[in-house]
Homo-oligomer: A and B are copies of this chain.
Amino acid sequence: MAHRMLRRRISLSSAFLVAAILWAALPLHAEDGAQGWLRYAPSSVSGIPVGYVRMPASIVNLDSSSVATSAENEVLRGVRSMLGRTLRTDAKIPDSDAWVLGTAEELAVAFPEYHPPTLAPEGFSVSVLAAQGHQYWIIAGADARGLLYGTFCVLSGIARGESFPAMEGSESPAAPIRWVNQWDNLNGTIERGYAGPSIFFDNGAVRSDLTRAGEYARLLASIGINGCTVNNVNASPQMLTPEMIRGVARIADQFRPWGVRLSMSVAINSPQVMGGLDTFDPGDPKVATWWRAKVDQIYAAIPDFAGLVVKADSEGQPGPSQYGRTPVDAANMLAAALKPHGGVVLYRAFVYNHHLDWNDLKADRARAAYDIFHPLDGQFAENVIVQIKNGPIDFQVREPVSPLFAGLHRTNEAIELQVTQEYMGQARHLVFLPVQWKTYLDFDLHVDNRPSSLKDMVDGKTFHRPLGGYVGVANVGLDTNWMAHPLSMANLYGFGRLAWNPNTTAETIAADWTRLTFSNDPKVVATVTNMLLSSWPIYEHYTGPLGLQTLTNITGPHYGPAPQSQENNGWGQWIRADHDGVGMDRTVATGTGFLGQYPPEVAAMYTSLKTCPDDLLLFMHHEPYTYRLHTGKTIIQTLYDDHYKGAEEAAGLVRAWQTLDGRIDPERYQKTLALLEYQAGHAIVWRDAINRWFLKMSGIADDQHRIDNDPNRITASQMQLDGYAPIDATIWETATDGKAYACKDRAACTASAHLNRPPGWYDIAVQYFDYRQGASTFNLMLNQQPVATWTADNTLPGQAPNGDTSTRYTLRGVPLRPGDVLTLEGHPDNGEPAPIDYMEITPEASSAPGKPRP
Contact = CB atoms under 8 A, between A and B. Distances in A.
Nearest to A95: B817
Contact of A84 (B13, B783, B850): B850
Interface string A794-833: 0000000000000000011111110010000000000000
A768 interface: no
Interface in A4-52: 9, 12-13, 16-17, 20-21, 23-24, 27-28, 30-31, 42-48
Given A84-B812, A815-B85, A788 B47 contact: no
Contacts of A44: 661-662, 850
Contacts of A12: 784-785
Interface stretch (A53-61, A214-222, A329-337, A733-741): A53-61
A790 interface: yes
A304 to B, nearest CB: 29
A285 interface: no
Given A86-B788, A788-B20, A659 B815 contact: no
A17 B784 contact: no
A30 B666 contact: yes
A86 B789 contact: no
A13 B849 contact: no
Contacts of A347: none
B850 A784 contact: no
Given A27-B670, A759-B96, A850-B42, A89 B47 contact: no
A786 interface: yes
A53 B89 contact: no
A782 interface: yes
Interface residues of A, number: 70
A527 to B, nearest CB: 11
Contacts of A30: 666-667
B784 A48 contact: no
A779 interface: yes
A852 B48 contact: yes
Contacts of A661: 42, 44-45
A335 to B, nearest CB: 46
A698 interface: no
Contacts of A812: 84-85
A760 B54 CA distance: 10
A45 B662 CA distance: 9
Please indicate which of the listed interface residues A80, A89, A785, A849 has the most CB atoms of chain B within 10 Å of its own CB.
A785
B87 A815 contact: yes
A665 interface: yes
A761 interface: yes
B788 A31 contact: no
Interface in A305-353: none
A785 B16 contact: yes
A298 to B, nearest CB: 36
A180 to B, nearest CB: 30
A157 to B, nearest CB: 18
A670 B25 CA distance: 11
A814 B86 contact: yes
A484 to B, nearest CB: 17
Contacts of A20: 779, 786-789
Interface in A83-99: 83-89, 96
A789 B84 contact: no
A46 B45 CA distance: 25
A852 B46 CA distance: 10
Given A789-B24, A790-B24, A813-B83, A88 B782 contact: yes
A706 interface: no
A45 B785 contact: no
A78 B83 CA distance: 42
A276 interface: no
A851 B789 contact: no
A17 B789 contact: yes
Nearest to A13: B786
Contacts of A88: 782-783, 785, 814-816, 820
A793 to B, nearest CB: 13
A659 B849 CA distance: 28
Please indicate which of the listed interface residues A47, A786, A811, A817 has the most CB atoms of chain B within 10 Å of its own CB. Answer: A786
13 contacts: A13-B786, A16-B787, A24-B790, A28-B670, A44-B662, A45-B849, A48-B851, A57-B761, A57-B815, A57-B817, A84-B850, A85-B812, A85-B815
**For the complex of A and B, 4 pairs with smallest distance between CB atoms:** A57-B815, A85-B813, A16-B786, A45-B849
Given A86-B788, A519-B662, 11 more contacts: A13-B781, A16-B786, A21-B789, A28-B674, A42-B661, A45-B661, A57-B760, A85-B815, A86-B787, A86-B813, A96-B817
